[in-house]
């Protein structure tokens, strides 16, 4: 498709990453088998345009140039899975949403997480879950010869009743087996001898295995929670905990990451207080962002809500009443809340960066290229019949503006760009013979992609002139040794009790800009959020409003006054006190000292996975 003659100048120019963190992110998250940036973009573009045989050579080359120069950027999911033979169709989508109305939705959630996507889980219908009928004993078996038998601590050896296959489907079915036994009050026996050892390669998806330990931990915790609810239905917090343990299982030291958001009733104080139990947060509750849902007519104590946000960073707010003005079938959101979703619907994202375009005309063309890319991505069919039906009916797109604070705009600019995207989507869907998308635009948090593009994340301002940017790696990730050799500070993740995750600290400089998180007011941020929601995003805006202690009262007033124009928002105090926070402001002197010890020209290896763990600040860890 793309000729070598066309690609030659790009190959000669080499890769274009601004710092060691960007290169580490690319090599660990998007590079396959030692390919170059040119190879990656070629793979992604050729796969995308192949979905429509009528795409011209000129459009393919124009899209390649736009992505290579980062005017248009597929989501990390698209960079990683595009053009990879044997990739599961569902693994090509960013995020998903579901409603926890049966135990099977936990299994579906685990499946989507293991495919690399994030999941938004609504707890608003847990009253439909069955009563736990009786006590269930769980027996876990493992051969004494398995390299990780010490982590498993088996209850028996041999006598396999259910031997877990070494596959994604096997792990999901093990969870299904324990849930079914737990709700019905039957005993369950599972054997994990067949699960590959920690550190073994994962072929198609990439990375290395985490061993059977995290799975066994999940199964035992699910069994324990169900046995604590005999004769009744599960509470919202118990449902939250099972969801969080699912996330912990997928996250613990593995290549797959677990971005979760859980939605609870605004009146459910136990749910709202769940993150106040710090021991539980350290154990497992850090694996989801928790948000309360407004459905219209509630009396909200905004001052009390902001006080909780100030002390605990949560809950976030999902205004389902405002969402359903545009989409009356939406029931949940994706983990960073920029896309409302129907049950088991997937979201499909792409970004364009006006700050990397030489003119508004060029930005408008980038928006159209991004729209056509995104719609082609929607053409793949999904194995889950319910998910596929939602996709074919909705054809929902998520075209996002990246680096909102990096270019000058006004509401007329947003209206113009929105019209370009809406018209391009309508015209192209007609050409392809598919339904016109029910929604087309959003503002995504743009975690790893903003790193690659050297842009501010989504609607959020750059953090500070000088700061530390933290990222997480599995302890057995081959990238770790290279980063340590390059002088990057590395320490154990204090939120992972399995001790399989490490935290790296990268010094970053952005001096000379006008707007930073540190000098913005809550008025500035809410105004920008409302403008983006009303003039650009027909889905939603992923927004984390940062505030000072003295701004709490003003933030409560602003939320009260503007909530009717906001679909989703979370708020985080600037002085949050979190250990190993994703961002930490430092002085120029501290920056210079850290940089002096790091070799930013160091060669790194590809493989493994870096987690830029920052949903709490607005950006997303899902690739």
pLDDT tens for residues 132-146?
Answer: 999 999 999 998 889
Question: Which residue is it, tokens 């899902």?
Answer: 622
Residue 201 has pLDDT above 80, yes or no: no
**Residue 363: band (very low, low, confident or very high) from pLDDT cuts 50, 70, 90:** very high
Q: What is the pLDDT of residue 257?
A: 56
Q: Are strands 346-347 and 95-99 parallel, antiparallel or unpaired?
A: antiparallel
Quick check: 342 pLDDT over 80? yes
pLDDT in tens, 380-419: 999 999 999 999 999 999 999 999 998 999 999 999 999 9
Q: State the pLDDT at residue 373.
A: 98
Name the β-bridge partners of 349: 398
User: What does the pLDDT read at residue 241?
Assistant: 98
- Identify the residue with better confidence: 163 or 566: 566
Instruction: Look at strands 398-401 and 568-573 and give their pairing.
Output: unpaired
pLDDT, position 321: 97
Dihedral pair phi/psi, residue 174, rounded to 5° = -65, -45
Above 70 in pLDDT, residue 100? yes
pTM beyond 0.85, yes or no: yes
* DSSP 8-state class, residue 497: T
The per-residue pLDDT for 56 is 97
Q: What pLDDT shows up at residue 615?
A: 46
- pLDDT of 126 reads 98
Residue 113 in this model has a pLDDT that exceeds 70: yes
pLDDT averaged over every residue in the chain:
91
pLDDT higher than threshold 50 for residue 621:
no
pLDDT for 581 equals 83
Give mean pLDDT, residues 503-514: 85
Residue 613: the pLDDT is: 52
Counting beta carbons within 10 angstroms of the beta carbon of residue 36, is it exposed (0 to 12), middle (13 to 18) or buried (19 or more)? Answer: middle
Does residue 255 surpass a pLDDT of 70?
no
85-to-6, 40, 167 alpha-carbon distances in Å: 24, 14, 18
pLDDT value, residue 477? 84
| Cα-Cα end-to-end distance for the chain | 26
């Amino acid at each position: 498709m793309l000729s070598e003659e066309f690609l030659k100048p790009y190959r000669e120019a080499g890769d274009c990453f601004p710092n060691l963190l960007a290169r580490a992110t690319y090599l660990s998250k998007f590079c396959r088998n030692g390919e170059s940036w040119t190879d990656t973009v070629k793979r992604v573009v050729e796969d995308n345009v192949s979905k429509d045989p009528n795409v011209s050579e000129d459009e393919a080359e124009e899209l390649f140039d736009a992505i290579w120069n980062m005017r248009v950027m597929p989501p990390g999911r698209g960079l990683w899975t595009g053009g990879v033979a044997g990739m599961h169709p569902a693994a090509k989508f960013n995020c998903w949403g579901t409603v926890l109305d049966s135990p099977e939705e936990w299994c579906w959630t685990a499946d989507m997480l293991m495919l690399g996507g994030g999941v938004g889980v609504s707890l608003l219908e847990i009253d439909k879950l069955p009563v736990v009928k009786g006590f269930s004993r769980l027996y876990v078996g493992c051969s004494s010869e398995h390299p990780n038998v010490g982590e498993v601590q088996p209850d028996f050896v041999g006598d396999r009743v259910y031997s877990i296959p070494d596959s994604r489907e096997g792990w999901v079915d093990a969870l299904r087996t324990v849930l079914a036994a737990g709700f019905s009050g039957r005993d369950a026996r599972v054997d994990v001898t067949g699960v590959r050892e920690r550190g073994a390669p994962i072929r198609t998806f990439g990375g290395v295995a985490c061993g059977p330990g995290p799975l066994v931990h999940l199964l035992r915790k699910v069994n324990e929670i169900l046995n604590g609810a005999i004769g009744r239905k599960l509470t919202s917090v118990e449902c939250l905990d099972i969801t969080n343990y699912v996330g912990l299982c997928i996250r613990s030291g593995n290549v797959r990451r677990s971005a979760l958001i859980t939605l609870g009733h605004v009146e459910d104080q136990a749910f709202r207080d769940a993150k106040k139990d710090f021991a539980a947060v350290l154990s497992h509750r850090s694996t989801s962002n928790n948000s309360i849902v407004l459905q219209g007519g509630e009396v909200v104590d905004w001052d009390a809500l902001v006080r909780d946000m100030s002390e605990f960073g949560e809950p976030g707010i999902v205004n389902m009443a405002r969402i359903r003005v545009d989409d009356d079938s939406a029931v949940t959101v994706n983990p960073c809340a920029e896309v409302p979703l129907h049950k088991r619907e997937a979201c499909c994202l792409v970004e364009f960066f006006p700050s990397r375009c030489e003119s508004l005309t060029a930005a408008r063309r980038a928006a159209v290229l991004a729209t056509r890319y995104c719609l082609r991505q929607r053409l793949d069919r999904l194995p889950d019949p319910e998910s596929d039906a939602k996709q074919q009916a909705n054809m929902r797109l998520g075209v996002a503006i990246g680096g909102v604070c990096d270019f000058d705009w006004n509401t007329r600019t947003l209206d113009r760009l929105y019209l370009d995207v809406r018209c391009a989507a309508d015209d192209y869907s007609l050409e392809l013979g598919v339904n016109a998308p029910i929604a087309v635009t959003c503002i995504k948090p743009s975690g790893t992609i903003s790193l690659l593009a050297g842009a501010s994340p989504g609607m959020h301002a750059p953090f500070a002139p000088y700061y530390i940017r933290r990222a997480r790696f599995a302890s057995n990730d081959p990238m770790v040794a290279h980063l340590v050799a390059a002088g990057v500070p590395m320490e154990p993740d204090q939120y992972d009790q399995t001790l399989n995750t490490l935290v790296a600290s990268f010094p970053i400089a952005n001096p000379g800009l006008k707007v930073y998180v540190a000098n913005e007011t809550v008025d500035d941020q809410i105004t920008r959020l409302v403008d983006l929601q009303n003039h650009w995003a027909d889905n939603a805006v992923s927004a984390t409003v940062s505030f000072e202690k003295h701004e709490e009262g003003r933030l409560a007033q602003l939320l009260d006054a503007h909530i009717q124009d906001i679909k989703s928002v979370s708020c985080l105090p600037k002085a949050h006190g979190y250990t190993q926070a994703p961002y930490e402001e430092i002085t120029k002197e501290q920056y210079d000292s850290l940089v002096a010890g790091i070799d930013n020209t160091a060669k790194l290896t590809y493989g493994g996975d870096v987690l830029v763990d920052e949903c709490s600040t607005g950006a997303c860890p899902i690739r």
